Chains A and B, each alone.
Chain A
Amino acid sequence: MRWTESVVDAAEDAEFDAFVRARWPAFARTAYLLCAGDLGHAEDLVQTALARTLRAWPRLTDRGDLDGYVYRVMVRTHATQRRRRWRGEVPTEHLPEPPAAGSATDAVEDADQLSRALAGLSRRQRAAVVLRFYDDHSEQEVADLLGCSLGTVKTHTSRGLARLRELLDTDTERSLG
């Protein structure tokens, strides 16, 4: 059956809206970490994942696992989207205009340091670390979300954590030195 707006009746509309309103913050936070602190990309990712969920909404009979469905779409979209993204511009740390005075608080610096470190992980490593340590998914759940084996998740998590610690230590040393 072809998807049309008429297929999703008014009750389902309201149900979907309520779901989005309730779960958007959680999805956005996970996406924010998956995108290593890039809010624009994170919101793109959540919107894309939820738009796909809307399309599949009439088929999603197991309303108890909606979160799992969205997380799966989000993680897999993230893996493919990042590969497709246009890379005509090269990101750099050097800004043409200095940041406003007083904006660099400790908390911001800490968050930026973690964002930079997350950006240094591979997509799969970052996904494994975020899903495991931020969303508190079990290793088996992470394997299901990523569509890989339990052993692969363990490898990604272990290497991701080691790399994250290494990057954070290096960054701290640089800022102190």
Chain B
Amino acid sequence: MNDEELRSRLTLLAERVPGRPDAPARVRATARRRRRFSAALAAGAVVLVTTGAVTLPVALTHRAARVDSVAGPTAATAPPKATSAAAATSVVSAVCTPALERALRLYGSIQHFYSVRTSAVVAASFAQNLHVSGDPVDFCLAVGDLDKLTPSLPPGVPDQMHYALMAAGTGAPQLVYTSADRPQQPLPGVDPSEVLAYQPPAATALPATTSTTTPTLPTPGPTTLAAAETLALHAAINAGSARIAWGVATTAATLRAAGTSVPSTVPDATPMFVIAVYGDAMTDGGPGTKPALVHRFGVLYRGDGSTFAAGNAVSFGDYFTHLESPALRVAIMNTLAQLAPTISNLTQADSTDLADAIPVEAALAAAEHAAGLKSGDIRAGDILATLVRTQRPDGLHKIAWLLAINNQHTPAVLTRASEYLVDASTGEAFEAAVP
């Protein structure tokens, strides 16, 4: 092979890359998430460094405080003090700004809120990489079961987060840090004693004699593909545009035969779910792996209902390229406004609706079938998709995939209808239109 032939072959190979009409938006979203995540990590590091010198005494104090508060049933419900102790320099309040409270409530069930307002200078010195605009800056600390912050870990797992601090100036709230244990510097200028320790819900509901010995039961793992898909989709700190690309129910033996590393403790006959997620998401990395901004990820679940303690999610984070069919076509996700469909009475569906929607590739197969096409007739790169809510008078097909097919790679003869609506629950193609 000479140089010219190599050039030609490389060019042909590179031509396989599809276009990205939404490239600027994707880049900006990536930049925003990277910036927020870096700020949160850096702030967490600052807190860790400043508390490092007194880690042991704090840990001992925290443990003692926790036992005390479990024994006293009123401790968990006692409101925070209206003013700070002698060591504190800021006034702490139990009322957060609505925006901060709303953002924090998304992380799980909250037991206490603590709020302080500081100048931008104090805020910057407290968390040096904080990027909030405006002066003053509001901080809001949430204490509770923040199980949606680290969704791959079930309640009761030791590193479940229980403290989260967010800050906001004139812009959107930003996560400053999260912690499983009571932080030494919970808020700017606030003495740690001002912040009540997290109370495990099971412990507060039972008499003190039994609450301290009752373990929290681990959450059972998935036993159906749909349950596994829901878990996988929620296994992200920020789900962003993540959606289920495909899911496969198989066995541990099959996966091993396909070269996938499955722990030896999982018997060959164990049912397994392979879930692939496409889209931008900030994952927490799952047990043993670091948080990361990803554009697609895979999760491998045991399908026998095993708990996390027994190794429910046997792998998380990387993408199963070797398990993906080469025939799989990828739809380019858009917003409804970007697609500007000719089919009317549609509104953009919520991102939460994605959890229950069939994979967009399954919707594409249904659309092809309805149009009398063979599977694979519509080429990758020609498929634009978004999830919509329909406003039909008969109340049917409430959530649907809107698929817009263009002509770039697909032969024109195949585009007898270029917009399709496919029910996102049943997979039924129920409307099509030629713009």
A93 nearest in chain B by CB position: B322
Contacts of A143 in B (CB 8 A): none
Residue B321 at the A interface, CB < 8 A?
yes
With contact pairs A20-B27, A103-B376, A134-B7 given, residues A96 and B248 touching in the complex (Cβ less than 8 Å): yes
Can you list, as one digit per residue, whether each of B204-231 has a CB less than 8 Å from chain A (1) or not (0)?
0000000000000000000000000000
Residue B6 at the A interface, CB < 8 A?
yes
| Interchain residue pairs A-B with the least CB separation, the first 8 | A92-B259, A29-B14, A100-B327, A51-B31, A17-B24, A24-B23, A134-B10, A50-B27
Partner of A133, one of B6, B27, B261: B6
Chain A residues within 8 Å of chain B by Cβ, number:
59
Do B260 and A89 have beta carbons less than 8 Å apart? yes
Contacts of A29 in B (CB 8 A): 14-15, 17
Chain B residues within 8 Å of chain A by Cβ, number:
55
Can you list, as one digit per residue, whether each of B4-15 has a CB less than 8 Å from chain A (1) or not (0)?
001101111111
What is the interface of chain B mostly: helix, strand, loop, or mixed?
Answer: mixed
Residues on A lying within 8 angstroms of B by beta carbon are 2-4, 6, 16-17, 20-21, 24-25, 28-30, 32-33, 37-40, 42-44, 47-48, 50-51, 54-55, 85-97, 99-100, 102-103, 107-108, 110-111, 114-115, 129-130, 133-134, 161, 164-165, 168
Kindly identify, within residues 1 to 47 of chain B, every residue whose CB is under 8 Å from any CB belonging to chain A: 1, 3, 6-7, 9-20, 23-24, 26-28, 30-31, 34-35
Bound together, the chains give a CA A25 to CA B17 distance in angstroms of: 8
B408 shortest CB reach to chain A, Å: 12
Contacts of A24 in B (CB 8 A): 19-20, 23
A32 shortest CB reach to chain B, Å: 5
Residue B398 at the A interface, CB < 8 A?
no
Residue B335 at the A interface, CB < 8 A?
no
Do B34 and A51 have beta carbons less than 8 Å apart? yes
Bound together, the chains give a CA A1 to CA B294 distance in angstroms of: 28
Q: Knowing that A51-B31, A88-B289, A100-B376 are A-B contacts, what are 13 other residue pairs whose CB atoms are under 8 Å apart, sorted by A's residue number?
A: A20-B23, A33-B14, A39-B18, A47-B30, A86-B289, A92-B322, A94-B322, A96-B254, A97-B248, A100-B325, A134-B11, A161-B6, A165-B1
